[in-house]
Amino acid sequence: MPRFLIVLSVIYLVMAFYGLQGFKTLFKSVWVQIAYGVFFLAAWLNLIIRVLNYTPGDGVRGQIALAGGIFFSFLMLALVLGIVLLLEDVVRLFVFGYNKISGVADDQTRFFPSRRKFISGIALGIAALPFGALLYGMYKGKYNYKVLKYELEFDDLPEAFDGYQITQISDVHSGSFDNREKVAYGIDLINKQQSDVILFTGDMVNDKAVEMEPWADLFSTLKAKDGKFSILGNHDYGDYTSWPSDDDKTRNLEDLKNLQKEIGFDLLLDTHRYLEKDGQRIALMGVENWGRGGFKKAGDLEKAKKGISKEDFKILMSHDPSHWEDVVIQDDYHFHLTLSGHTHGMQFGVEIPGWVKWSPVKWRYKYWAGVYQELGQFINVNRGFGFIGYPGRVGIWPEITVITLKRKGLT
């Protein structure tokens, strides 16, 4: 068994037992207490069995991902419950010590203070919030598609493209899908936007091209007047799984490229296309993955720029937003709009439009979800269409972005 899983198991079991002490304060029925233990043990044993039967190269999806999600939900329940009870125990210990030192010794203070039912109830109530949210995220949140619409204005947008509509999707991670009806609903929602062009900004699979094959017919139904274009994300290269040989890994990437072509995507590999309308045009560019912090740096912006004028209106597709931060916004070509994904918003956070926008991923990425503007240039970081690892989403829902380009000064 992996060492990290042993450590995690010890923490889990200790905190679950500790939380049981507070649970017993609230529920005196032995059968309810037994049920508490059975559920915790079942979640733990299910994960252990899945890990021990895991085949390297399969990726974190399917039953092992589900087992991990359930285990993590119970772990959060135990941790939050245990932390609140620990704080109460610190107070209980302080009160007991104070009584001893001060010489108070009546029938109520002679013994260690008992756990209070009120505090145990608060602890369980607080712990139930992340527990319930994580379970909801796996049951429904992962397919809770949201259409987010933005209108972006530019001084130099060609007049013919005033009102031009783009639909962006990203991070499909088809290897994690487990509900064809829900995915079909998401595809239909994309088509209902009736955008001029559909742009996909990488991570079609978790690891292998075959993951996309069961879903290819659905994605083939995506339609837009000016076509649909795509780029590669870090997961598309097959770097996070094992391969019998380098040739197999190379063949897998070629299979994925061919599959994207069969679906109808024009895959942009450090190159560009021009979108034309009424005799005017804008440049659409796409680079291979370029990421900071150990992620593949395959993208070649200079190569993609060849044949494009500085005066052209430019839209860049680059999977990782760190590329925009570290390279793109400093480039003298001025990229009007960059479209990225990659972060998923960590699939966990709190968003109340106009009030709160938070996710732990903000500590890793400055630009992690939504539209940002720097140096007169925009980026939209899509929260992702799919999911990976934790088989769900909490607060950060799967996203379909619709961006309308507007020229300033036109009515």
Q: With 80 as the cut, is the pLDDT of residue 53 above it?
A: no
Domain spanning 146-407: CATH 3.40.1360.10: no
Q: Under a CB-based contact definition with an 8 Å cutoff, are residues 161 and 407 in contact?
A: yes
Contact 400, 169 (CB under 8 A): yes
Reference 398, options 142, 138, 137; nearest CA is 142
Q: Which two tokens stand for residue 178?
A: 């487990």
pTM flag (> 0.85): yes
Q: Write the CB contacts of 21 (distance below 8 Å, at least 6 apart in sequence).
A: 85, 115
Cα(289)–Cα(295) distance, rounded to whole angstroms? 8
Q: Which tens digits make up the pLDDT trace of 25-34?
A: 888 888 988 9
The pLDDT value given to residue 60? 56
pLDDT band at 411 (very low <50, low <70, confident <90, very high): low
d(CA 166, CA 195): 6
- Per residue in 291-330, pLDDT (tens digit) is 998 899 999 999 999 999 999 999 999 999 999 999 999 9
Task: Enumerate residues 6+ apart whose C-beta is below 8 A from 405.
Answer: 152, 154, 157, 161, 162, 163, 164, 165, 166, 337
CATH 3.60.21.10 in the chain, residues? Answer: 146-407
pLDDT at 300 (0 to 100):
95
| Inter-residue contact 377 to 334 (CB < 8 Å) | yes
Taking a C-beta distance cutoff of 8 angstroms, is the pair 313, 160 a contact?
A: no
For position 29, what pLDDT does the model report?
A: 87
Position 109 pLDDT exceeds 60:
no
Length of the chain: 411
Give the mean model confidence (pLDDT) for residues 255-278: 97
